[in-house]
A = this chain, B = another copy of it.
């Protein structure tokens, strides 16, 4: 399976808007083929930092997700609320416990 970890630091004045956009993206993404999990969280150490955890059945499913126009729209919209560049890391993962 594929795990995606993402982080975005948002301008304090725009946290609520970023949360709204992120939650829309999460709920929409869960309906896509191959999506096992898609969640957004607030870092306990920084209320302006949003952290995403996603699980996908395959890289093909994740690629389709990234290619979806609504994903690109979300990234564009949330980047405009951000401080610095978002971070995204993709892992090939096997559950062992």
Contacts and interface: CB of A to CB of B under 8 A. Distances in A.
A23 B51 contact: no
A92 interface: yes
Interface string A73-97: 0000000000000001111111111
A3 B90 CA distance: 12
A11 to B, nearest CB: 17
A26 B50 CA distance: 17
A42 B41 contact: yes
Contacts of A53: 5, 51, 53
Interface of A: 3, 5, 19, 22-23, 26, 39-45, 50-51, 53, 59, 88-97
